[in-house]
Amino acid sequence: MQEKWWHNAVVYQVYPKSFKDSNGDGIGDLPGITSKLDYLAKLGITAIWLSPVYDSPMDDNGYDIANYQDIAAIFGTMEDMDELIAEAKKRDIRIIMDLVVNHTSDEHAWFIEARENPQSPERDYYIWRDEPNELESIFSGSAWQYDEKAGQYYLHFFSKKQPDLNWENEELRQKIYEMMNFWIDKGIGGFRMDVIDMIGKIPDEKVVNNGPMLHPYLKEMNQATFGGKDLLTVGETWGANPEEAKKYSNPEGQELSMVFQFEHICLQYQEGQPKWHYQKELNVGKLKEIFNKWQTELGVEDGWNSLFWNNHDLPRIVSIWGNDREYREKSAKAFAILLHLMRGTPYIYQGEEIGMTNYPFETLDQVEDIESINYAKEALEQGVPLEQIMDSIRVIGRDNARTPMQWDETKNAGFSDGQPWLAVNPNYEAINVQEALENPDSIFYTYQKLVNIRKENSWLVRADFELLETAEKVFAYIRKDGDCRFLVVANLSNQKQEFAVEESITSVLIANTDVKATIEQLTLAPWDAFCIELAK
């Protein structure tokens, strides 16, 4: 295989609205991000995935784009964006832009023209029908919205303010590629592609994901834009299996660098149920099965995967699967150690590196996320008790990931001098960056060390993965490349567990516990996790 910079990268996701406010309006912004680059450089990350900062009415916090080549005023200006790219580059950090091209905002000039002028070329950039079918929006209700002006229904798989684009229109595709080249010319490091597996949809046949034209479009996009350039491209592909992932990421296929697949995350939901019927208790057996499948079936010659527990749509890992009370630090470190030594590119979501937790939402007016709000309205109409709705939102709602970044113990956690747009978690006095940097034992330094271990052991890119037979709640594996061998062990439970393997320890690379001189027979305390180098 040809090794690329992104095989060895660690990416940090920034959700701009919640990262750092520079001007006291309570909303994070681009100068705020630039002011924290030294912090990110200290963590050691190679790239930032920047959630959308484009001009937008913010119905879905920027995933509804009104102008792809302009910056939302709340985030700053194009000069601020250029400055962020340049300042990041000085620190060897690349900026990965969020590419949201399954839909636009209904305030995009294309849609305004399309709805007002049936004869315009833009009309066909969107998907119009005289009658709706049964397709449902991911944000509740029908996926079709009647438009008075247009006299037809348009398709929107997300909010009503996010009309789906019609990828069958060749002119539209060319416009998207031109826009991508505009950003590539600015010197960005790549693209994260929002719900990219939906662009090949055939609404009349109720085909939504993985439509037949999906891969042809991606090949066309690759040739027209980033192909041949040294960029990281990652597709958000919820339902991909290893075979699908190969189609996207096999270098010969000339599509993307890697995918985000969510099979492990789907263990947070009850099978076949909407996410609001969450499944809080982690099934470690299933988790092992899923990772084992991906680590062994997506070979290093076949393609590439990403590794993540968190993003801006998901609950905090330490709250849903860890123990955010008596074992907050330990369980946060255990999930980090377990994940970052696997094959794939690790992603860290802002605040994960200090063990930020879910927010104790109590009332609906504390909630800002359109997905949660639409769900709550629909569920209330159906007679679901409010307390049950709030329980779902507390455990699995997207705002859990979006509360302001906790920088220090001062007012508003040092996020803003003004009133933050979403409440700061009340635990910020104990959980914040300043505290983490001062404490050599903090979760932050576990992440920093993991980033370094990957940098210093580039054989981890190629190494085989072998899952060990262990007690149910213990997840243990060996990475092996020639003489080099790492053993990773994590107890994913609140109980003691027994672990044994006939090996002697050469050196402990990282641990959240004291590892004894022999591991032939070991009693693991709750959430113990470590990586040791095995003798050659």
| Smallest separation (angstroms) from ligand TEU to the CB of 313 | 4
| Smallest separation (angstroms) from ligand TEU to the CB of 397 | 8
If the CB atoms of residues 25 and 435 are measured against Ca ion, the closer one turns out to be: 25
If the CB atoms of residues 194 and 353 are measured against ligand TEU, the closer one turns out to be: 194
Beta pairing class for 47-50 and 11-14: parallel
Residue 23 binds: one of Ca ion, ligand TEU, none (C-beta under 5 to 8 A by kind): Ca ion
Residue 415 binds: one of Ca ion, ligand TEU, none (C-beta under 5 to 8 A by kind): none
CA angle 257-263-267, nearest 5°?
150
| Smallest separation (angstroms) from Ca ion to the CB of 416 | 7
CA angle 176-350-108, nearest 5°?
25
Strand order in the sheet with 152-155: 128-129, 152-155, 144-147
Catalytic: which of 60, 80, 197, 236?
236
The phi-psi region of residue 418 (left if phi > 0; otherwise alpha if psi is between -120 and 50; otherwise beta) is beta
Q: Are 12 and 351 in contact (CB under 8 A)?
A: no
The Cα–Cα gap between 411 and 423 comes to 12
What H or E segment, with its residue span, contains residue 111?
A: helix 109-116
| Smallest separation (angstroms) from ligand TEU to the CB of 376 | 14
Q: 139-151 burial string, b = 16+ CB within 10 Å, else e?
A: bbebbbbebeebe
If the CB atoms of residues 312 and 449 are measured against ligand TEU, the closer one turns out to be: 312
Residue 27 binds: one of Ca ion, ligand TEU, none (C-beta under 5 to 8 A by kind): Ca ion
**Residues in contact with ligand TEU by the rule CB under 6 A:** 60, 63, 100, 138, 158, 194-195, 275, 312-313, 371, 398
Residue 7 binds: one of Ca ion, ligand TEU, none (C-beta under 5 to 8 A by kind): none
Residue 29 binds: one of ligand TEU, Ca ion, none (C-beta under 5 to 8 A by kind): Ca ion
- Decide if 194 is catalytic: yes
| Smallest separation (angstroms) from ligand TEU to the CB of 89 | 26
Residue with tokens 């027979």: 521
The Cα–Cα gap between 420 and 17 comes to 10
CA angle 98-256-266, nearest 5°?
70
| Smallest separation (angstroms) from Ca ion to the CB of 22 | 6
**Residues in contact with Ca ion by the rule CB under 5 A:** 21, 23, 25, 27, 29
If the CB atoms of residues 100 and 376 are measured against ligand TEU, the closer one turns out to be: 100
Residue with tokens 């920093």: 448
Q: Which amino acid is present at 42? A: K
Beta bridge partner(s), residue 232? 190
- Decide if 352 is catalytic: no
If the CB atoms of residues 358 and 416 are measured against Ca ion, the closer one turns out to be: 416
Q: How many CB atoms lie within 10 A of CB 430?
A: 10
Catalytic: which of 55, 106, 164, 194?
194
Residue with tokens 């592609």: 193
If the CB atoms of residues 25 and 289 are measured against Ca ion, the closer one turns out to be: 25
Residue 100 binds: one of Ca ion, ligand TEU, none (C-beta under 5 to 8 A by kind): ligand TEU
Report, as residue numbers or ranges, the catalytic residues: 194, 236
